[in-house]
Chains A and B, each alone.
Chain A
């Protein structure tokens, strides 16, 4: 990891911890909107960035169409996040949990791929597994038991976990193959 990426990981970890703290102390309805805004803005910006990269660079690359697909997906998810803020909180909970669960599954699949190709995989697998577990916990609390407050607390706990994970990653030694 380069120094710049380590600093970025550290700062994003601290930001996640700050947002997690905010979620615990603010009103429930505002917390939901904050979560959706956090995800919506992040996804939308990411989608725009990926689509810009596709239009200027990746469309001329072998396999570049996958960049287009990812860009459209991120943008759609970002717009969907924004559109959910006026709906009942339970839909937002399902959406956020599904997003995290999907992200967790992708992480686990990537960890499996890394394991098959001899790269480090345990950290990534643990990260993915915990994301999936948190998603399940959020759905159970928010949908099954209809306790939005607890669901928000579980989500905040997830943010604490991601934040700490990012901070630990920033200080972790990486032995990745560079070819000279």
Chain B
């Protein structure tokens, strides 16, 4: 998903769920910031590199694709943007190597989603925002995996957009190009995607790169042959999926606010019903950026002005804070929440017997080991337990 949904739609969902304007802004900011918190940004502010929730294009270009490099890439993308749907999925007649990649396919309403939302319970608004980003992306990015893999993420010429025509739809084959400076043209059905690379671990085969930005457009309805789909055609209905994502976000936020357990597969359609027509109108409109429409709706909803997203908003606060107090700044709380999410997802993937996200060590049993950045998470965990 893009800024229009991660920032403005998340704000709307939070407000409908009962959060105040200020709280909703913080949640929305954190949700969108998950697409901005790169190692480059963290090194600029003096933050721990392991808290990165995304990778910039330049970082991806230089990212090594040896086993350790792939684990690093997978930890980021699987934890925040392509949450695996079923880490224990079975498939007959495939190698173990293939099955490991297959089990990282993102899907909605998986056990990891429940863990993600529950991880945010009783924690900061920043943790809530990260959870909402992850939840939203399970709907937009479903059927792709957050690890470089040709055999999972590839697409081919069989990619058709379904355009509304009368009571039904007409098909139009999508034309993909690789022009780095080109813009997507929804009217003509021309979109940019990543270049075909036969190397299994090429960065071009990460996530939904082979489908371009298309899965992130709320108006998109399409059918295609996922590389793992055994030649079965899969239909993706983004207007419906995004509406489900919104209603699920509202439910999740209500659960977090009331501190009650979250369940997957539950959507608060009732709370969203008064705004259904408006929201579906925004989602169905053919535009590559729906920010203006969402912003207008959000401001009407709350009666407050919604400032534009500014990646650097909380930068100075973090940089100027003294070392012991950094964890209490906005970005400090975000960093802790991001590391907790990454740690949790990596642990789940590792304990399922899949080494693709790296090794996870339970510090309570074996003491602290591994990436030094995570010591701050351990210390925060100990501090919280002491305070409780």
Contact = CB atoms under 8 A, between A and B. Distances in A.
Interface string A132-163: 00000000000000000000000000000000
B195 A179 contact: no
Nearest to B151: A61
Given A1-B61, A57-B151, A61-B150, 13 more contacts: A57-B97, A60-B94, A61-B151, A62-B156, A62-B231, A63-B156, A118-B177, A119-B178, A177-B178, A177-B192, A177-B195, A179-B212, A180-B55
A4 interface: yes
Contacts of A180: 35, 54-57
Nearest to B211: A179
Interface of A: 1-4, 53, 55-58, 60-64, 67, 114, 117-119, 174-180
Interface residues of B, number: 51
Contacts of B101: 57
A62 B35 contact: no
Given A2-B203, A57-B98, A179-B212, A114 B178 contact: yes
- Chain B CB within 10 Å — which of A1, A53, A67 has the most? A53
Interface stretch (B220-228, B251-259, B336-344): B220-228
Given A2-B63, A61-B150, A117 B176 contact: yes
Contact of A119 (B55, B95, B177): B177
A176 B204 contact: yes
Contacts of B186: none
- Chain B CB within 10 Å — which of A55, A119, A174, A178 has the most? A178
Interface string B70-96: 000000000000000000000101110
B280 interface: no
Contacts of B198: 67
A57 B154 contact: no
- Chain B CB within 10 Å — which of A56, A61, A180 has the most? A180
Interface string B158-177: 00000000000000000011
B213 interface: yes
